[in-house]
Amino acid sequence: MAASGEDVKLLGVAASTFVCRVQLGLKLKGVEYKFVEQDLENKSEELLKYNPIHKKVPVLVHNERPISESLVILEYIDDNWKLNPFLPAEPYQRARARFWAKFIDDKVVLASWKSVFTNDEKEREKNIRESDEALKFLEDEVKGKFFGGEDIGFVDIAAVYIAFWIPLIQDIGGLKLLTSEKFPKLHNWSQEFLNHPIVKVTMPPRDPLFAFFKARYDKIIASK
């Protein structure tokens, strides 16, 4: 819980998986914060002030000190608020958690996204293959209820994209990137994760998000 007098705010957009990571981290810690919705087509003075380099969300502002990049923010949250730690204390396990979180960003997010949001069929097939290969590695990393064991950990939070956004965009594109047949352990993990009480109240409503990304998909397909 944020100490009395602390000022915590999060600059973000509801559709962003990276913003959702930070929201989950704060809520799992019980930190009270103010969410400041941003319009990325018309960037606010506040966003440009707090993230002048990348001009992107999320940005966590803690007592007027800004931190950007979702995985960096998650580490800051875990270091600053000790309740319910989500990074392992043991150095090797901590390093592995960081590795797999970055693996998700480097190997899963972009490939799966481009599997759907492209009108180039060769590019689509290439990214589907790359997404499948990456998800196979993660399938082998699910050892228990969550990546972090019996409690939600750093990798689980980083993988919110896999649990929520991949099923959404695969429905839009008519693909089967993540199914119980292809990746049974990952699929079971995603259900456990999304049914966690804190996760359930943190995820954005699916229908408006589906409509938003479907419109983008239709525009890309129409331009073919």
The whole-number pLDDT of residue 2 equals 53
CA dist 165 → 75, 87, 136, 172, 198 (Å)? 22, 23, 18, 11, 17
Residue 143: closest CA among 202, 102, 85, 100: 100
How far apart are alpha carbons 221 and 173 in whole angstroms? 10
Amino acid letter, residue 200: K
Distance in Å from the first CA to the final CA of the chain: 50
One digit per residue, the tens of pLDDT, for the chain of length 224 reads: 555 568 999 999 999 999 999 999 999 999 999 999 999 999 999 999 999 999 999 999 999 999 999 999 999 999 999 999 999 999 999 999 999 999 999 999 999 999 999 999 999 999 999 999 999 999 999 988 999 789 999 999 999 999 999 999 999 999 999 999 999 999 999 999 999 999 999 999 999 999 999 999 999 999 87
How far apart are alpha carbons 64 and 169 in whole angstroms? 36
Residue 21: closest CA among 88, 101, 83: 101
Geometric angle at alpha carbon 170, from 19 and 167, rounded to 5°: 55
Tokens representing 93 are 């396990």
CB atoms within 10 A of CB 1: 10
The whole-number pLDDT of residue 6 equals 86
The whole-number pLDDT of residue 146 equals 95
Query: pTM for the complete prediction?
Result: 0.95
The whole-number pLDDT of residue 158 equals 98
3 within 8 A of 56, measured Cβ to Cβ:
no
The whole-number pLDDT of residue 3 equals 52
CB atoms within 10 A of CB 194: 14
110 within 8 A of 165, measured Cβ to Cβ:
no
What is the helix (H) or strand (E) element at residue 8, kind and residue range? strand 8-12
Residues pairing with 59 in the sheet: 11, 68
Residues 6+ apart with CB under 8 A from 30: 1, 81, 83, 84
The whole-number pLDDT of residue 196 equals 97
CB atoms within 10 A of CB 171: 15
The whole-number pLDDT of residue 112 equals 98
